[in-house]
C-alpha cells in the first residue's frame, strides 16, 4: 500500500538522480521530446509499493510481473506512467487529447526490428550526407584541410536602421565562448568581426586583426539597439516587420586530424568559402519544389504571440534555407522507406530533430553546445542563434557523436531508447559508485521484441479528451497520472511546431491528425487566448477525475503528482477529488522538476512535487489528520527530513508546495462528508478556500515553518525539530 510502503528517502534519491540525467535512467524518453516528464522511478515505485509485498528497495531491482493489474492514465503526455505500468506487465489504458502525445507513446511502445532500423537510419544519413554534407564543411585553420566539419554556425540578428536605412547587427554581447570548456575566452571584435582568444575577459586588450579595443558588452539591450552608423536607437523588431534576418559571424568546427593535438575547441570567423556554401544552399533551396515543408500559418496564442511579434507568420520562416533544404531532402528519403514501421520511426526522428534545426536555437557559450528550441517551455526569440550540422558528426572510432542536434545524434539515441524497451535496467547507488542493474524479464511494448515465443500485452491508447472516457465500472486497479498544472505549459501551442511537419508526412488520415493544429478547446490548461481560466480548468479536471474514479475498483488508488507555488492552482484539484468521491489519503513529497532545468532556474525555484494518493475507502494514520497550521508545519518538516535522508535538499519554495499539498489533503478530508458536487464550480472552489482560511491559512503554516527554522538556514529545518514518531508508524489509523 503506497501510503505505508512508499519508501520516500529511497524514491526521492532515485528521482533526484533521474531528473538530473533523465535519459540515462529512462532512455526510452529519447524517442521524442515531451515537456515536463515526471520521473519514471517514482511511478515504478508507486506501482511496486501498492502491488507487491516486498520492501520497495528490493522489489525495485527485481524483475516483476503484476499482469493482474489494470492501470489507466488519463493524461499520458510523454507516457511516463503508461510505460512504467506496461513494463511491469500491467494492462494499460492511456489517453491524451494531444495527437503528438498519442503518436509519441505509440512510437515508444511499438515493436521495432532494431537491426533493420539501424540499417535504415544509416542509409538515410549516407544519402543525406551525399546531398548536403559538403554544405557543412569548412577549412581547418590549423592544418588547412578542407575536410573539417562545422559543428555550429553562429548567427546574429540584423535589421535596417529606421533612420539611415543601413544594416546593423543586434549583438547583446561579443563573447563567443567562455573559458570553461575552452582554455581561453573567445571574443568577437565589434569592429572587424575577427575572433580573438584572450586570457582575461576583464582586460581583453586589442583585436589581433584591426587593433581596436575588444569589448564584451554589446549594444543590444532590453528590446533596443543603437545603430552604429547614425546613433538612432531602434527597437529589435517592428510590429509589421518581416521575419528576422541573420548574419553568420562565427563557426565552431571539428577537425578529425587536428583534434588529438589541439587543446579546446576550434573556432573561426566565416571565410568567403563558408558564406559561398550558404549561398549555394540558398540557391538550391530556391530551385527546390518543396513537398514536405509545411506552409501553415502560426495561429495566435499565449506562446505563439511572441513569434508573431517578431514578424514570423509561418512555421517555415523559423528555419533558414539550408535547414529547409536538408529537412525537405530528409523527408523525401524517409518517404521512400518501404517498411511502414521503419518509416514511422524515421518520421518521429525527423519531428524530434526539428527542435535542433531551426533558427530559434541558441548557443550556450559556457557549455559550448546548441540549446534546442524547447530548452525553455516557450518560444524565446534570442538575438544570437545556432545552426547545427544536419547530418551530424560521428566519431566512428569512439562510437560517439561530436556536437549535438544532427541526424546521427537523433538516430543513435532512438536506437538506445528502443533497446532499453527490450532490456530495461536501473541504477544502484553505493556511495559515489553507480552500478547498472539489468532487470530481467521486464520489457516495454505491446509485443516482446525478439523473444522466441510471441508475448503480448494489453495496451490501449486513445487520442481523446479524457473527460469523455468511459472505463467499465470496477475495471481499474489503479489510476496513475500527472495532470496538467494550471497554465504551466502550453503543450499544444509548442507541439504544433513539430506537428505541422509530422502531419505533412503521415497525412491527415492518421489517427488524431485530422486537424491542422493540436490545439483543442478541451485541453486542460489555462490559456488566455482560448479564454480558458481557472473555472474551465476545474470543470474539465473534475470531469476526468469522475470518469476515472468511476472505473476504479473500490478502495483502489488514484494517484497523481502536482506542483505549483500558488495555492489557488490547487483548488481545482481539491474540487476534482471531492467531485469524484475520493478521499485524499496521503500527500507525499518527491522531486519532480529539476532546479537546474533552464526554464525554472533563476525563479524562486522548487523541485519537489506533491504526490496525492486518493481512494474511495481505506485508512490513514491518525497523525496525518491534524487540526492546526502548526501541526501541518510539523508534517512539512517531516517531509523535508525524509527528502534530506534521500539526499534531496528542499528549498523554501519546496516547503511551500508541500504545505499546499497537506492543506489541500486536509481540506478534502474535512469537506468530503458534506460535499455537493452539483453546486456551481466557483462556489465549490470558494468553499475550499474558505475552509483553508478557517483552518488558519497557508501563510500561518509557512509562518510556523519559518519559526522552526528561525535560527537555521531553511534546509536545516528538519534538524531543528525532530518528529517524535516515524512517518511510517501505523499504530493508530483512521478508516474512511
Ligand X SMILES: C[S@@+](CC[C@H](N)C(=O)[O-])C[C@H]1O[C@@H](n2cnc3c(N)ncnc32)[C@H](O)[C@@H]1O
Q: Which residues bind ligand X (CB under 6 A)?
A: 34, 36-38, 74-75, 77-78, 80, 95-98, 101, 465-467, 482-484, 491, 522-524, 540
User: Between 83 and 148, whose beta carbon lies closer to ligand X?
Assistant: 83
Q: Cβ 238 to ligand X, closest distance in Å?
A: 35
Binding Zn ion by CB under 5 A: which of 21, 116, 164, 276?
A: 164
Q: Cβ 720 to ligand X, closest distance in Å?
A: 35
Q: Cβ 258 to Zn ion, closest distance in Å?
A: 3
Instruction: Kindly indicate which of the ranges 115-123, 224-232, 312-320, 424-432 contains the residues binding Zn ion, using the contact rule CB under 5 A.
Output: 224-232
Binding mask 310-349 for Zn ion (x = CB under 5 A): ----------------------------------------
Query: CA 465 to CA 573: how far, in whole Å?
Result: 18
Q: Cβ 121 to ligand X, closest distance in Å?
A: 25
- Do residues 67 and 89 lie in contact, with contact meaning Cβ atoms separated by under 8 Å? yes
User: Between 116 and 192, whose beta carbon lies closer to Zn ion?
Assistant: 192
Binding Zn ion by CB under 5 A: which of 58, 68, 224, 229?
A: 229
- The grid coordinates of residue 167 equal 544594416
- The grid coordinates of residue 418 equal 528502443
User: Between 155 and 266, whose beta carbon lies closer to Zn ion?
Assistant: 266
φ/ψ (deg, to 5) at 255? -115, 115
Question: Of 390, 387, 425, 422, whose CA–CA distance to 409 is shortest?
Answer: 390
C-alpha neighbours within 13 Å on the C-beta side of residue 207: 18
Instruction: Give the chain's radius of gyration (CA, Å).
Output: 27
Binding mask 110-149 for Zn ion (x = CB under 5 A): ------------------------------x-xx-x----
φ/ψ (deg, to 5) at 73? -130, 110
Query: CA 39 to CA 592: how far, in whole Å?
Result: 6
Q: Which does 99 bind (CB under 5 to 8 A by kind): Zn ion, ligand X, none?
A: none
User: Between 38 and 369, whose beta carbon lies closer to ligand X?
Assistant: 38
Instruction: Kindly indicate which of the ranges 187-195, 497-505, 521-529, 589-597 contains the residues binding Zn ion, using the contact rule CB under 5 A.
Output: 187-195
Binding Zn ion by CB under 5 A: which of 72, 132, 189, 505?
A: 189
Q: Which does 621 bind (CB under 5 to 8 A by kind): Zn ion, ligand X, none?
A: none
Q: Cβ 76 to ligand X, closest distance in Å?
A: 6
Q: C-alpha distances in angstroms, 220 versus 24, 133, 194, 217, 292? A: 39, 34, 19, 9, 36
User: Between 191 and 339, whose beta carbon lies closer to Zn ion?
Assistant: 191
Instruction: Kindly indicate which of the ranges 96-104, 158-166, 466-474, 499-507 contains the residues binding Zn ion, using the contact rule CB under 5 A.
Output: 158-166
- Do residues 266 and 255 lie in contact, with contact meaning Cβ atoms separated by under 8 Å? yes
Query: CA 213 to CA 33: how far, in whole Å?
Result: 44
Q: Cβ 459 to ligand X, closest distance in Å?
A: 16
- Do residues 370 and 386 lie in contact, with contact meaning Cβ atoms separated by under 8 Å? yes
Q: Cβ 531 to ligand X, closest distance in Å?
A: 16
Q: Which does 229 bind (CB under 5 to 8 A by kind): Zn ion, ligand X, none?
A: Zn ion
Q: Find all residues with CB under 8 Å of 451, minimum gap 6, and list them.
A: none
Helix axes 340-353, 114-132, angle to 10 degrees: 50
Q: Cβ 385 to Zn ion, closest distance in Å?
A: 23
Binding mask 255-284 for Zn ion (x = CB under 5 A): x-xx--------------------------
Q: Which does 411 bind (CB under 5 to 8 A by kind): ligand X, Zn ion, none?
A: none
Q: Which does 524 bind (CB under 5 to 8 A by kind): ligand X, Zn ion, none?
A: ligand X
User: Between 105 and 189, whose beta carbon lies closer to Zn ion?
Assistant: 189
Q: Cβ 494 to ligand X, closest distance in Å?
A: 11
Q: Which does 192 bind (CB under 5 to 8 A by kind): Zn ion, ligand X, none?
A: Zn ion
- The grid coordinates of residue 13 equal 534519491
Counting contacts by CB under 5 A, is residue 393 touching Zn ion?
no
User: Between 243 and 378, whose beta carbon lies closer to ligand X?
Assistant: 378
Q: Which does 670 bind (CB under 5 to 8 A by kind): Zn ion, ligand X, none?
A: none
Binding Zn ion by CB under 5 A: which of 21, 130, 230, 596?
A: 230
Q: Using H for helix, E for strand and C for coil, what is the string for 27-86?
A: HHHHHCCCCCCCCHHHHHHHHHHHHCCCCHHHHCCCCCCCCCCEEEECCCCCCHHHHHHH
Query: CA 300 to CA 529: how far, in whole Å?
Result: 7
Query: CA 719 to CA 715: how far, in whole Å?
Result: 9
Q: How far apart are the first and last CA of the chain?
A: 15
Q: Which does 189 bind (CB under 5 to 8 A by kind): Zn ion, ligand X, none?
A: Zn ion
User: Between 131 and 522, whose beta carbon lies closer to ligand X?
Assistant: 522
User: Between 74 and 595, whose beta carbon lies closer to ligand X?
Assistant: 74
Counting contacts by CB under 5 A, is residue 197 touching Zn ion?
no
| Burial profile 333-371: b = 16 or more Cβ within 10 angstroms, e = fewer | bbeebeeebbbbbbbbbbbbbbbbbbbbbbbebeebbbb
Which of helix, strand or coil describes residue 609? Answer: strand
- The grid coordinates of residue 344 equal 514511422
- The grid coordinates of residue 687 equal 468553499
Q: What is the DSSP secondary-structure string of 578-603? A: HHTT-EEEEEEEEE-S-TTSTTTTTS
**Residue 222, Cβ density class (10 Å: 0-12 exposed, 13-18 middle, ≥19 buried):** exposed
User: Between 207 and 505, whose beta carbon lies closer to Zn ion?
Assistant: 207
Counting contacts by CB under 5 A, is residue 163 touching Zn ion?
yes
Count the neighbouring beta carbons within 10 Å of the beta carbon of residue 603.
10
Q: Which does 118 bind (CB under 5 to 8 A by kind): Zn ion, ligand X, none?
A: none
Q: Which does 491 bind (CB under 5 to 8 A by kind): Zn ion, ligand X, none?
A: ligand X
Question: Of 669, 562, 556, whose CA–CA distance to 611 is shortest?
Answer: 562
Binding Zn ion by CB under 5 A: which of 113, 118, 160, 194?
A: 194
Q: Which does 34 bind (CB under 5 to 8 A by kind): Zn ion, ligand X, none?
A: ligand X
Q: Which does 101 bind (CB under 5 to 8 A by kind): ligand X, Zn ion, none?
A: ligand X
Q: Cβ 389 to Zn ion, closest distance in Å?
A: 16
Binding Zn ion by CB under 5 A: which of 167, 206, 232, 242?
A: 232
User: Between 99 and 646, whose beta carbon lies closer to ligand X?
Assistant: 99
Residues 202-221 that bind Zn ion (CB under 5 A): 207, 209-210
Query: CA 68 to CA 644: how far, in whole Å?
Result: 35
Q: What is the DSSP secondary-structure string of 516-545? A: SSS--TT--S-BTTTTB-HHHHHHHHHHHH
User: Between 193 and 581, whose beta carbon lies closer to Zn ion?
Assistant: 193
Q: Find all residues with CB under 8 Å of 680, minimum gap 6, and list them.
A: none
Count the neighbouring beta carbons within 10 Å of the beta carbon of residue 283.
11
Enumerate binding residues for Zn ion (CB under 5 A). 140, 142-143, 145, 161, 163-164, 189, 191-192, 194, 207, 209-210, 227, 229-230, 232, 255, 257-258
Amino acid at each position: 500500500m503506497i501510503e505505508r510502503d512508499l519508501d520516500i528517502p529511497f524514491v526521492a534519491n532515485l528521482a533526484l538522480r533521474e531528473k538530473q540525467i533523465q535519459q540515462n535512467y529512462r532512455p526510452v524518453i529519447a524517442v521524442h521530446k515531451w515537456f515536463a516528464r515526471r520521473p519514471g522511478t517514482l511511478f515504478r515505485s508507486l506501482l511496486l509499493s501498492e502491488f507487491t509485498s516486498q520492501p520497495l528497495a528490493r522489489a525495485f531491482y527485481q524483475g516483476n510481473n503484476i499482469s493482474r493489474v489494470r492501470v489507466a492514465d488519463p493524461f499520458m503526455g510523454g507516457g511516463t506512467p503508461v510505460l512504467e505500468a506496461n513494463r511491469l506487465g500491467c494492462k494499460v489504458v492511456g489517453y491524451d487529447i494531444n495527437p503528438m502525445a498519442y503518436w509519441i507513446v505509440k512510437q515508444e511502445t511499438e515493436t521495432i526490428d532494431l537491426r533493420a532500423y539501424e540499417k535504415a537510419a544509416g542509409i538515410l544519413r549516407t544519402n543525406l550526407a551525399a546531398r548536403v554534407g559538403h554544405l557543412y564543411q569548412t577549412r581547418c585553420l590549423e592544418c588547412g584541410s578542407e575536410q573539417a566539419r562545422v559543428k555550429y554556425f553562429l548567427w546574429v540578428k540584423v535589421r535596417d536602421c529606421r533612420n539611415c536605412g543601413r544594416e546593423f547587427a543586434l549583438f547583446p554581447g561579443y563573447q563567443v565562448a567562455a573559458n570553461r570548456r575552452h582554455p581561453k575566452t573567445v571574443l568577437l571584435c565589434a569592429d572587424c568581426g575577427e575572433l580573438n582568444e584572450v586570457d582575461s575577459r576583464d582586460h581583453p586588450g586589442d583585436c589581433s586583426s584591426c587593433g581596436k579595443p575588444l569589448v564584451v558588452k554589446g549594444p543590444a539591450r532590453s528590446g533596443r539597439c543603437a545603430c552604429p552608423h547614425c546613433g538612432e536607437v531602434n527597437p529589435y523588431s517592428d510590429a509589421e516587420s518581416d521575419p528576422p534576418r541573420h548574419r553568420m559571424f562565427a563557426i565552431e568546427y571539428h577537425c578529425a586530424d587536428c583534434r588529438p593535438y589541439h587543446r579546446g575547441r576550434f573556432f573561426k570567423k566565416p571565410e568567403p568559402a563558408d558564406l559561398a556554401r550558404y549561398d549555394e544552399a540558398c540557391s538550391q533551396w530556391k530551385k527546390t519544389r518543396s513537398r514536405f515543408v509545411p506552409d501553415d500559418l502560426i495561429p495566435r496564442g499565449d506562446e505563439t504571440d511572441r513569434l508573431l511579434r517578431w514578424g514570423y507568420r509561418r512555421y517555415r520562416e523559423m528555419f533558414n534555407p539550408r535547414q529547409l533544404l536538408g529537412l525537405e531532402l530528409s523527408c523525401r528519403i524517409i518517404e521512400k522507406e518501404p517498411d511502414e514501421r521503419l518509416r514511422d520511426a524515421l518520421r518521429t526522428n525527423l519531428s524530434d530533430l526539428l527542435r535542433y534545426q531551426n533558427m530559434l536555437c541558441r548557443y550556450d557559450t559556457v557549455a559550448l553546445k546548441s540549446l534546442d528550441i524547447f530548452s525553455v517551455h516557450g518560444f524565446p526569440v534570442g538575438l544570437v542563434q545556432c545552426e547545427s550540422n544536419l547530418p551530424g558528426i560521428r566519431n566512428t572510432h569512439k562510437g560517439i557523436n561530436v556536437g549535438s542536434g544532427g541526424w546521427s545524434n537523433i538516430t543513435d539515441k532512438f536506437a538506445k531508447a528502443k533497446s532499453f524497451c527490450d532490456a530495461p535496467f536501473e541504477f544502484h547507488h553505493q556511495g559515489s559508485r553507480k552500478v547498472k542493474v539489468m532487470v530481467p524479464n521486464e520489457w516495454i511494448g505491446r509485443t516482446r521484441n525478439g523473444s522466441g515465443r510471441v508475448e503480448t500485452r494489453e495496451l490501449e491508447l486513445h487520442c481523446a479528451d479524457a473527460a469523455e472516457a468511459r472505463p467499465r465500472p470496477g475495471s481499474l486497479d489503479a489510476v496513475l497520472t500527472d495532470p496538467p498544472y494550471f497554465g504551466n505549459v502550453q503543450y499544444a501551442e509548442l507541439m504544433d511546431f513539430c506537428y505541422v511537419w509530422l502531419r505533412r508526412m503521415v497525412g491527415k488520415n492518421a489517427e488524431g491528425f485530422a486537424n491542422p493544429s493540436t490545439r483543442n478547446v478541451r485541453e486542460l490548461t489555462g490559456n488566455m487566448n482560448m479564454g480558458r481560466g481557472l473555472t474551465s480548468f476545474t470543470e474539465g479536471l473534475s470531469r476526468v477525475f469522475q470518469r476515472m474514479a468511476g472505473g476504479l475498483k473500490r478502495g483502489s488508488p488514484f494517484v497523481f503528482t502536482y506542483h505549483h507555488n500558488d495555492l489557488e492552482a490547487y483548488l481545482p484539484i481539491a474540487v476534482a477529488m471531492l467531485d469524484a468521491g475520493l478521499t485524499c489519503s496521503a500527500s507525499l513529497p518527491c522531486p519532480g522538476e529539476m532546479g537546474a532545468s533552464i526554464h525554472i532556474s533563476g525563479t524562486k525555484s522548487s523541485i519537489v512535487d506533491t504526490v496525492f494518493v486518493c481512494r474511495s475507502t481505506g485508512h490513514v494514520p491518525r497523525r496525518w489528520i491534524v487540526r492546526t497550521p502548526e501541526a501541518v508545519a510539523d508534517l512539512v518538516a517531516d517531509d523535508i527530513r525524509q527528502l534530506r535522508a534521500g539526499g534531496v535538499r528542499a528549498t523554501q519554495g519546496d516547503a511551500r508546495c508541500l504545505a499546499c499539498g497537506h492543506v489541500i489533503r486536509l481540506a478534502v478530508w474535512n469537506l468530503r462528508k458534506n460535499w455537493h458536487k452539483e453546486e456551481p464550480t466557483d462556489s465549490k472552489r470558494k468553499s475550499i478556500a474558505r475552509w483553508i482560511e478557517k483552518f488558519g491559512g497557508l501563510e500561518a503554516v509557512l509562518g510556523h515553518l519559518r519559526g522552526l527554522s528561525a535560527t537555521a538556514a531553511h534546509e536545516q529545518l528538519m534538524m531543528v525539530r525532530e518528529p517524535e514518531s516515524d512517518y511510517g508508524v501505523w499504530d493508530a489509523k483512521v478508516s474512511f
